[in-house]
Structure 1
Amino acid sequence: MLLAPIDWAIICAYLLFSLCIGLWVARQAGKNSTQFFAAGKNMPWWLLGVSMVATTFSTDTPNLVSNIVRTDGVSGNWVWWAFLLTGMLTVFVYANLWKRSGVLTDVEFYELRYSGKMAAFLRGFRAVYLGFFFNVVIMATVSLAAIKISGVLMGLTPVQTVVITGVVTVIYSSLGGLKGVLLTDFFQFFLAIGGSLIAAYVALDHPEVGGFEGLLNHKEVVTQLNILPDFSDPSQAIGIFIIPLAIQWWSVYYPGAEPGGGGYIAQRMFAAKDENNSIAAVFFFNAVHYAIRPWPWIIVGLCSIIVFPDIAAMKEAFPDAASVADNDMGYPAMLTFIPTGWLGVVVASLTAAYMSTISTHLNWGSSYLVNDFYKRFVRPESSEKELVRMGRISTAVLMVIAGFLALYLKNALDSFQIILQIGAGTGLLFILRWFWWRINAASEVAAMVISFAVAMYFQFAHVHTGLPELTSWQELIAGVVITTIGWLLVTLYTRPTDKETLVNFCEVARPGGPGWQKVIEEAEAEDNDLEPLQDEAWRVPQGILCMALGSVAVYGTLFATGYWIYGRWILASIITLISIAASGYLFKSWRKLIQIRPEDEEELFEE
């Protein structure tokens, strides 16, 4: 299917608009590394929150959701819905701690929290591991989605797609730094939302679908509609519901949903102008990401089951994309029915989604490579202009390598599972390092190395051992258990962090809690009184209450929306009331958490 001139005009207009924003802020972004990588640390919550949503509104996410819906039904989305718990923990427990730390990147945090050569090694290792290797895999997965969409809608080959999108995105990303990303994300968010709604409307209007009534009564779709899994089938319930909610959310490192915060979410928090804006930004992101955005993607995925019942049907319909055809192509396949003009808007929205995600990952990964590797270990004396220049060079290098890797990937869900497995078992450490003084740099190195080794074993080596093959959730549990035991043993048998570093961390971040009592007592014995700081900072119990209320409110909105769509009015009404009640209680609890007076209750949202 070829785009009409009007469609190309809409796409080009959007690209030109993005380029103009990059040019507009390029001079300011080039002043220093703080401007380039953290937007001057003076951004409001609403801009940061919208940017987080836009970043996760990637071209591969609708494909992933379509894949899940086609293979496991709507309930299969619990493999990522469970990460809401992680997000809410970040909002109400970790957002203010990250902002207090005052670092430029979450990797810089390691030399604030740990001491000695091992801390320096961890900072450099983590910078390269996450900024380069891990980041490239994420960008390659996103580029894979662009390959499939362009193959279906425009007849482009994978190589053509990688070259075109890579060149455009690198130019845009290297101009404006994080501030350019944030400003462009603001417009990309609304364009992407509009595009997904158009896609859902057109999919429902397809003659074979026949609107909501035809969709919800189709024999192939009825079995896929359940929001909760079929508990009579333990294998399904365990894999897509029980394990994600019981283990996955706190034990696995995944970009955008890191236990304890981190990654580009932390980068946005660092860019906030104060702690309250940091908290509000992450809450907005989680609410929109989980409660509002999924249903248009789900609807398109369900419609694709009717129009393209199997992979063979998609290969026959799109021979140019036959080499990469899979269930995750259900979403772009349905986009081919969008009429001229509207199709240009939808493709522009997908382009916006792609550019938003890639530009964020380029800036985020580059910040690690430049601030935490190049500046820290290669040229400590480098000027701010040199750091910005190296940031722009590393941006281009990351894009080139990610493009090459994208040519070898086949499936978005497979990539998602690999990423989960690589991070399995590290999550608990990322949570506890804020609240248990004994965790040290060696703990983190051990967790990363062990989790990566286990993931590589399950991905490649297990086929040569003769052992029975495990399901993805069994591999996840094995990875969590092995990695957790490994890093705990390393923690207990290695030297703890220096006392001076621990005391300084308490003074700067003020984490609080019983896990730091030993440090406090030893500091007091040396006439260094940390007790007032700990009393002021220990807000975790109230934060966990807010986390629970926030999760109920967001999940309630997600479920209620689904049941309103399904026409189950009574159940939808009950869940809506529960969500409203949880939201009201959350507001009161949140106000108590951030310790603002009743007359100042709207201050957070007026800034």
Structure 2
Amino acid sequence: MILSILDWTIIAGYLLLSIIIGIWASKKGSKSTRSYFLAGKNLPWWLLGISMVATTFSTDTPNLVTDIVRRNGVAGNWTWWAFLLTGMLSVFVYARLWNRSGLLTDIEFYELRYGGKPAAFLRGFRALYLGLIFNSLVMGAVSLAAIKFGEIVLEIPGWKTLIMACSVTLVYSVLGGLRAVIITDFVQFIIAMIGSIWATIYIISLPQIGSIKKLISHPNVVGKIDIFPDFSDPNIWVPLFFVPLAVQWWATYYPGSEPGGGGYIAQRIFSAKDEKGAMAATFLFNFSHYALRPWPWILIALSSLIIFPEINDIQKAFPTLSTGKLGHDVAYPAMLTLLPSGLLGLVSASLIAAFMSTMSTQLNLGASYLVNDFYHRFVKKDATERELVLAGRVFTVLSILIGASLGLSLKSAGQAFNLLLLVGAGTGAIYILRWFWWRINAMTEIIAMISSVIIAGYLNFGNVIMEDWKKIIIGAFLTTIAWVLGTFLTKPEDEKVLKNFVKVIDPGGPGWKRFSYEKPEKKWNLPFNLLRIFLGVFCVYSLLIGVGHLIYQNIFGYLFITFSLVGISILFIWSDRD
């Protein structure tokens, strides 16, 4: 057996702590829907930011990074690093607007921005789609990673791992609501960072690897370490670098990187005390997610190319692993089996905690959609706060059963990642523009939604032989054409609805000039915020690249880090202008 009694004790200790937090938070989380789904809107910005980071780190995240590195090298990570552009857009533009709206969920936005039956349909349909279907797909991908982790590291069937982790997740999520989720997120983040860095140091010191210098010069690794793709070959740099940075970040809807800052990012923004707190929390999330966390996973992925050069080597080492779950992504949990007792328990606890963190967030978010935007809006409008909290708990149980079951049918983290990107291709631009252009209406979103599903279904299940990146471009292009045409061929929203939106949100800019209301003139700050977005992206990418160069023992890393620190200092000075 790989895990010792000490390892199991560490894991059990974390699970017990999560239950205690849930019981403690239940006293405040059961008062109302806002306390259950928004933690009372009184949490500090740094706790909300760390919660965002912890939620984005699930059991499938290091598996996905490992799959990418083993297939496409370090440069392959631009497929998700590109989402930093969306993240910084959320920081300097949408965090303030979402917090100002005073909404309970981002789905409720539909009946603030649009009017009539189309708006009601959008709210109800999106509540069911995101709360059940899309949310279940996300939880299925997370559950898949937990299954592989359980079979390789814990040496127990995947379904038993799910029962163990899901049971504890249910307890604290159902009892304590978002407050319990966020506090356990904080604990999980600390454990995860300590565990991943410590595990990386230990693995690199193994005799088979020896040191960083030996690692990056190994024949199996040397062709995988470049941070940027080979720009002399368009077959490499176009799908790995150009498409993510030119199309993917704005055109697709991906959890945690939604254009316009929706999903659980918006939920944390709603929970912030004020607009500045919302911006600070979102910046901390993007800074930590893209600049601080990736390299330990990348180094373990590179090390796996020495220990397990091919998939067959993993299969030989773990013959009991289900053949349907075998892929490059399982190299990460396979590498963890090399850790000593104690450290293996800590890392295992961190990965179980990562699974629970993402699952609990998706459960609470999905339940908020189903309760606030479907049950309360369409089924029982006169429901009391106590009834709504109870409904949220029922939907939480239902959602985890569906999500965990779906995890048993998926095969790889990369498969789930590409499917999520493809389903939302082409809709992202609407979520960005609807805040600043009055002409976008409810029918715009309905047309985009239907077009995206039809096009994605055909490209993914219609025996179309084509690379995934080409499918994303074609899907985004066709869906965008459909909704742009639909916008001009359908009636605009009622003027009263548009004026009320401007009064509540005050987005400013030429796109709303005709609907302005009596208010002291103030300068539109979007142009200045676009400059801050550029500088924020520059800072985070500079730090990401700088750390990579230092790991590769390249002195230019100090230069990139200096650029990053200077940029962050400028952003801090500019924060006084908010």
Pairwise TM-score range, normalised by the shorter structure: over 0.9
Helix, strand or coil for the counterpart of 1:68? helix
Contact 1:93 1:539 in 2 (8 A): no
Aligned position for 1:320: 320
Q: Which digits, 9 at most, give the CA deviation of each residue in 1:57-102, with x for residues without a partner? A: 1110000000000000000000000000100000001111001111
1:6-21 aligned at under 5 Å gives the runs 6-21=6-21
Aligned to 2:271: 271
Question: Aligned partners of 1:566, 1:167: CA distance in 2, in Å?
Answer: 42
Query: Cα distance, 1:342 vs. partner?
Result: 1.2
1:404, 1:188 → 2: CA distance?
24
Q: Does 1:506 align with 2:502?
A: yes
Letter in 2 for 1:508: V
The amino acid of 1:512's aligned partner reads G
Matched to 1:11, the amino acid is: I
Q: Verify the 8 A CA contact 1:72 1:224 in the aligned structure 2.
A: yes
* TM-aligned CA deviation for residue 26 of structure 1: 0.4
The percentage of aligned residue pairs carrying the same residue is 51
> 1:237-259, CA deviations, whole angstroms, 9 ceiling, x for partnerless residues?
00010011111111111110111
Q: How many residues align?
A: 577
Alignment of 1:158-307 (within 5 A): 158-307=158-307
SS of the residue 1:108 aligns to: helix
Quote the residue 1:481 is aligned against. 477
Between the aligned partners of 2:140 and 2:163, the Cα distance in structure 1 is 13
What secondary structure is seen at the aligned counterpart in 2 of 1:219? Answer: coil
The CA deviation string for residues 395-428 of structure 1, in whole angstroms up to 9 with x for no partner, is 1111101111111100001110110011111111
What is the letter of the counterpart of residue 245 of structure 1? L
Q: Which runs of 5+ in 1 are unaligned?
A: 464-468, 521-528, 595-607
- Indicate if the aligned counterparts of 1:59 and 1:350 stay in contact, CA closer than 8 A: yes
Distance 1:462 1:118 in 2: 34
Structure 2: distance between partners of 1:215 and 1:308: 14
Give the distance between the partners of 1:530 and 1:281, measured in 2 at CA. 32
Cα separation, 1, equivalents of 2:62 and 2:446 = 34
**Per-residue deviation, 1:341:** 1.2
Asked whether the 8 Å contact 2:267–2:365 carries over to 1, the reply is yes
Q: The residue matched to 1:103 in structure 2 has which SS?
A: coil
**Aligned positions of 1:371-410 closer than 5 A:** 371-410=372-411
Residue 343 in structure 1 maps to residue 344 in structure 2: yes
In structure 2, C-alpha distance between the alignment counterparts of 1:11 and 1:149, rounded to whole Å? 14
TM-score (norm 2): 0.98
- 1:364-390 C-alpha deviation (Å, 9 max, x unpaired): 011000110000001111111111111
* Contact 1:557–1:579 under 8 Å retained in 2: yes
The match for 1:547 among 517, 529, 533 is: 533
1:587 Cα deviation after fit: 2.0
The offset of 1:585, in angstroms, is 2.0
User: Residue 542 of structure 1 contacts residue 589 of structure 1 at CA under 8 Å; is this kept in 2?
Assistant: no
User: In the TM superposition, what is the alpha-carbon distance from 1:531 to its structure 2 partner?
Assistant: 5.2
The secondary structure found in structure 1 opposite 2:320 is helix
Q: How many angstroms apart in 1 are the aligned matches of 2:495 and 2:42?
A: 33
The one-letter code matched in structure 2 to 1:250 is W
Post-superposition offset of 1:537: 6.8
The answer to whether the aligner puts 1:557 opposite 2:543 as a matched pair is yes
Aligned match of 2:354: 353
TM-score where L is the length of structure 1: 0.94
User: Partner amino acid for 1:379?
Assistant: K
Partner of 2:574: 589
Q: Deviations over 1:129-156 (max 9, x none)?
A: 1111000000010011111111101111
Counterpart Cα distance in 2 of 1:34 and 1:275 = 18
Deviation, structure 1 residue 168: 2.0
TM superposition shift of 1:351:
1.1
CA contact (8 A) 2:18 2:168 kept: no
The corresponding residue for 2:367 is 366
Alignment match of 1:490 (pick from 483, 486, 509): 486
Shift of 1:185: 1.0
